[in-house]
Amino acid sequence: MNRFRKVLLLLLLIGISFGVLSGVRAVSRAMDREIRDGHLRFTGQIRNAPPLVAFTTVALGSFRGLVADLLWLRTSSLQEKRNYFEMAQLARWITDLQPSFAGAAAFLAWNMAYNISVTCSDFEERWRWVNEGIRLLRDQAIPYNPEEPRLYRELSYFFQHKLGNVMDDANLYYKNKLGAQMMGIFGSSPDWSSMAAAPPDEKAFLETYPAGCRFWRLASAAGYPDYPALWAGFRQSAPELPEKLAQALAADPELSKKIRDYLRSELLRQQFRLDPRLILALNEKYGALDWRVPESQAIYWATEGIRHSRSKVNLDCDRAITQALQDSFRYGRLLALDTKEFNSIQVVPNLGIVDAVYQAYLDKEMDNGGREHRYSTFRSARIVFVKEAISILYNYGQFKKAEEYFKLLIKEDGPQAQNNLEDFVMEQWAETIRNSEVRTANEIISGLIFRSINFAVYGDTDAALASERMARYLYRTYMKESGAQKRMRLLPYPIMKQNVLNACMKTYPPAMAELLKTKIAAELGEAASEKQQKETK
């Protein structure tokens, strides 16, 4: 009897075990189906990870969560002790241990770019930490989580707010560093069409230019027998080809340009993960963006966030694009770069994208069926943009376009208190200068200086003097009310004027440039004569 009970109990336990295992299997299948159907991910599924990270996640298994927790505690302790360099390394390890935890990477990057950077008084040190935050997102977190729009939005915000805005005392330094880095890759006037058409990677390049072809014969004669030698040589001479290679290819300018544009595009992909093909597409959609300024990269990464998201729709990235576009219109073109003192950098509005910015706001108000979108905040932002655009266009002598947008404002927002364009702009100037940030004041005053120069070239002396007086008046008004804070100060007025003059000399047709030179020479002669007369008296 006892034996019978034992056998019965054993069979019962076996049956219960099978039942439990069957239940676990059913639940596991259901969970796998939910993960597959819902495109859910867990920390065990890692894509684009280097071999060492993949091995670590498999070898540690679930224990890597405990290791990551210990590293988090260590990170907090190091931040309190201001041991930032070890903390940065731990941040990278945490991201490697939990590569699919996008929230952790976003927090760690933000902590470095904002919290740690401002504890450094030296601007070079600040830039190091801002750059560390950008690199953690761009080079590490996003490749692990290519479908996570939050990471793209955070990266876009870093460029638009931390580098592009004026809230940080080192903002001019950041802009100089970024501008210099970009020009070190593609120069001052890149051919985006040619760069986009170049081979997309090393493998495609070697297929286009196989061993033994004419290019490699010329390159070998110049001392670059293979791809590693070619790449190393370009890294040292970028953005131009190495001198000996350029000489070897001098007889074939077309081939020389193709090789240079490929090397530039590959360096851009490797250092900044920017694809010239998408850059070209954005330029075609919005107009010629200046890729030396941070706002352009903010647009790029927010666009990537939408493009890579599973639904292809993301409100945060939409807002990031419109905000960065508006900022790019306000101050999205680099006039002067000052890598030595960094104080004389000059940015001006990118007037050519005004219609694209307006259309971008309009598109966000509509859904795919053309009906009004539920996100009505885009309409309010669009009206604010139109008012700003009117003033900026008028400032820079685009009177016809300003009139077009003034009529559009009346149509969209009803009659204005000022019923003509000039009165509207004057009121906007007065109000803006009283409450403006440094970049807005800079764009208004630079615009007036530009108008003054333009009128002078065309011989309208009265209009030129009027614009000059207004520029000086607004400059004094702003500096009196806002210039007490160092980060809110404008450049000295003579430097601002000289920067605009330099830009005019570069962009004017030759005949107008000669007229401008004559005007400048005449003014300098008059000034010297007046000074001599005063000294004689």
Which amino acid appears at position 409 of this protein? L
Instruction: Give the pLDDT of residue 536.
Output: 59
| φ and ψ of 19, to 5 deg | -65, -45
- pLDDT tens sequence across 28-38: 677 666 655 55
**For 331-355, what is the mean pLDDT?**
78
Q: Is the pLDDT of residue 125 over 60?
A: yes
With pLDDT > 70 as the criterion, what percentage of the chain qualifies?
80
Instruction: Give the pLDDT of residue 370.
Output: 47
Higher pLDDT, 340 or 277: 277
Higher pLDDT, 223 or 523: 223
Instruction: Give the pLDDT of residue 368.
Output: 45
pLDDT band (50, 70, 90) for residue 39: very low
Instruction: Give the pLDDT of residue 362.
Output: 87
Instruction: Give the pLDDT of residue 435.
Output: 67
With pLDDT > 90 as the criterion, what percentage of the chain qualifies?
36
Q: Is the pLDDT of residue 495 over 80?
A: yes
Distance CA 129, CA 133 (A): 6
Q: Is the pLDDT of residue 369 over 50?
A: no
Residue appearing with tokens 């615009």: 447
- Helix or strand (DSSP H, E) at 36: helix 2-37
Distance CA 131, CA 136 (A): 9
Mean pLDDT of the chain: 82
pLDDT band (50, 70, 90) for residue 169: confident
What residues have CB less than 8 Å from 366, skipping those under 6 apart? 372, 373
Length of the chain: 537
- Helix or strand (DSSP H, E) at 170: none
Residue 160 near residue 295 (C-beta atoms within 8 A) = yes
- Count of other CB atoms within 10 angstroms of residue 234: 22
Residue 413 near residue 383 (C-beta atoms within 8 A) = yes
CA 303 to chain centre: 11
Q: Is the pLDDT of residue 285 over 90?
A: yes
Distance CA 4, CA 6 (A): 5
Q: What is the pTM of this model?
A: 0.74
pLDDT band (50, 70, 90) for residue 135: very high
| φ and ψ of 66, to 5 deg | -65, -40
Pairing of strands 346-348, 333-336: antiparallel
Least Cα distance to 89 among 99, 80, 98, 78 occurs for 78
Domains of the chain: which residue ranges? 54-182, 191-272, 436-537
pLDDT band (50, 70, 90) for residue 41: very low
Q: Coil, strand or helix: which one is 366?
A: strand
**For 239-261, what is the mean pLDDT?**
95
Residue appearing with tokens 């403006």: 436
Strand-pairing partners, residue 334, are 347
Distance CA 173, CA 126 (A): 9
- Which of 73-82, 110-119, 162-171, 173-182 shows the lowest per-residue confidence on average (mean pLDDT)? 73-82
Within the chain, what is the greatest distance between any pair of CA atoms? 135
Higher pLDDT, 39 or 199: 199
Residue 64 near residue 58 (C-beta atoms within 8 A) = no
Distance CA 251, CA 244 (A): 13
Q: Is the pLDDT of residue 262 over 90?
A: yes
Q: Is the pLDDT of residue 44 over 50?
A: no
pLDDT band (50, 70, 90) for residue 123: very high
Which amino acid appears at position 489 of this protein? R
**For 477-492, what is the mean pLDDT?**
79
Q: Is the pLDDT of residue 470 over 60?
A: yes
Is the peptide bond preceding residue 239 cis, with omega within 30 degrees of 0?
A: yes
Could you write out the three-class secondary structure of 327-352?
A: HHHHHCEEEECCCCCCCCCEEECCHH
- Which of 193-207, 245-259, 486-500 shows the lowest per-residue confidence on average (mean pLDDT)? 486-500
Question: Please, what is the end-to-end C-alpha distance for the chain in angstroms?
Answer: 135
Least Cα distance to 402 among 453, 440, 349, 452 occurs for 349
Fold of 54-182: 1.25.40
pLDDT band (50, 70, 90) for residue 462: low
Q: Is the pLDDT of residue 390 over 60?
A: yes
- pLDDT tens sequence across 423-452: 888 777 767 776 667 777 887 888 888 878
DSSP 241: P
